[in-house]
Amino acid sequence: MTLDDIVAKVTDPYDRQARLYPALLCLLPLLAVVALLHAPNVSALTGVVTLAVSCGGLFLMTNICREMGKRLEYRLYREWGGKPTTQLLRHRDGSIDSVTKRRYHAFLAAKINATLLDAEQEKSDPAKADEAYQSGARWLLDHTRPDGGKKFDLLFKDNVTYGFRRNALGAPDHLE
């Protein structure tokens, strides 16, 4: 890992907003206490913090914060019975009207080159249906994320917000 890689991680809008900021928010109380306790030794403290940051401290924090958020996300998906996108695509979920859901299924089926199960097939093999829904959601992610928010600006901003909230919620959850 070069210094350029570390700088790219911190300057990338997603990494900075969805990973670094939640980590810094979690550390803020601790840093405030340390600063207050060591106010007379500010130069030594400043040196240690500068050294930690230059040696990859921010990069480490972003990755730890993301990992905590991903662990929480995985646990929540298990509790909820699947990812929200998978749940929305299920025939048995009534959050989306049936006409729109059929349109979504047809679009995704064409994109992933697979047939999505109908309601009866989904009942008999929910795991297979979920697999197809997850494949469709993965296709959407893969085809809307690569431009860094230029073409799909609103989606990119929502994804950054989601990452921030997930990681901010996950970090204190694992510090207990």
Measured at the CA of 23, the angle between CA 58 and CA 151, to 5 degrees, comes to 85
Per-residue pLDDT of the chain (176 residues; tens, 9 = 90+): 677 877 777 778 777 777 777 777 777 677 666 766 766 666 666 766 665 665 567 777 888 888 999 999 999 999 999 999 999 999 999 999 999 999 999 999 999 999 999 999 999 999 999 999 999 999 998 888 767 778 888 888 888 899 999 998 887 755 55
Amino acid at 65: C
Cβ 169 vs Cβ 18: under 8 Å: no
In the numeric block, the tokens 């993965």 are attached to 138
Q: Which residues contact 89 (CB under 8 A, 6 or more apart)?
A: 101, 104, 105, 108, 116, 133, 136, 137
- Is the pTM value of this prediction over 0.75? no
